[in-house]
Amino acid sequence: MTDSSMDNASAARCLVNGHLGAAVPVTDRGLAYGDGVFETMRVGRGQIALLDYHLNRLRRGLAALRMPVDLAATVLELEAEAERLHTGVIKLTLTRGTGRRGYAIPAEFTPTRICQSFPLVSHAPEHAREGVRLFECQTRLALQPMLAGIKHLNRLEQVLARSEWSDPDYAEGLVRDTQGNVIECTMSNLFLLENGRWVTPDLGSCGVQGVMRDYLIDQLARIGEPVSIRSVPMATVLSSDEVFCCNSLYGVWPVVGLAQSRWPVGPRTRRVQALAEQVLV
């Protein structure tokens, strides 16, 4: 372990299985196979925003990976860490723990729980105010229904997609699946307004089901604007009336540019942005 990596590791407060620490054994299956799940959560006023949504996704991920874990201790730890942090970001990682060589899941395993606290990311405020342009990524998401929607630790597709651009003019990148349908952005979900109705891509075969996406779907249904979840070809995005991307850290960014299309920041998007800001205090 080099000095620089130690510096980096110690930049945030970190608990490993409830104890202060900054390292995991090389035999951890999270490292060996990406055998685990994670959540990145915004903390404000000592509380985790959208905690129930994060826990729901965590449970779905653990079920998909056939990894039974009682979350009671995890929830207590998250609440205590959020209170201590007051404002910032908590990243929780749950892996299947250490194991011998080989893919077979150990008959008995003790999950590794990693809870990292970070200061709040300072996304440029103009992204939310003036909107963002999206880079068109060439990396395509493979169709894997068994792993779709959950936030597991196999994220090479996102790493490759995000590596395609470095121009800061693009705040996010649009990613399609191997059949050409639009799925999401590298760290966000996507919504668009078509003939006055909200649409968001179906994530049954790939993509990450973001908690802000789930929250907004619930909130929009509540105010009589149900969101249609379906396949979205690229042409549908380009011809839509309003577009935005969202996640649970920054809320909603209006999309004002993609390929040759340009949009003003729409009034309907502003209303959704206000819904997101209610929970990101």
CA quadruple 192, 197, 198, 199: dihedral sign? negative
2 contributes a contact to a second copy by CB under 8 A: yes
157 contributes a contact to a second copy by CB under 8 A: yes
CA angle 236, 164, 183 (to 5 degrees): 30
Closest among 235, 224, 228 to 201, alpha carbons compared = 228
The binder of a second copy chosen from 42, 69, 99, 210 (CB under 8 A)? 99
87 contributes a contact to a second copy by CB under 8 A: no
The binder of a second copy chosen from 91, 127, 133, 268 (CB under 8 A)? 91
Residues of this chain, 26-65, that bind a second copy according to CB under 8 A: 26-35, 38, 40, 65
CA quadruple 230, 232, 237, 239: dihedral sign? negative
144 contributes a contact to a second copy by CB under 8 A: yes
104 contributes a contact to a second copy by CB under 8 A: yes
The binder of a second copy chosen from 116, 181, 209, 269 (CB under 8 A)? 116
Residues of this chain, 222-281, that bind a second copy according to CB under 8 A: none
Q: What is the DSSP string of 210-244?
A: -HHHHHHHHHHHHTT-PPEEE---HHHHHT-SEEE
158 contributes a contact to a second copy by CB under 8 A: yes
Residues of this chain, 185-224, that bind a second copy according to CB under 8 A: 186-187, 206
The binder of a second copy chosen from 72, 103, 122, 195 (CB under 8 A)? 103
142 contributes a contact to a second copy by CB under 8 A: yes
Confirm if 200 and 227 have CB atoms less than 8 A apart. Answer: yes
156 contributes a contact to a second copy by CB under 8 A: yes
Q: Kindly tell me the burial class for residue 148, based on how many C-beta atoms sit within 10 Å of its own C-beta (0-12, 13-18, 19 or more).
A: buried
| Residues assigned a catalytic role | 40, 151, 184
DSSP state of 49: T
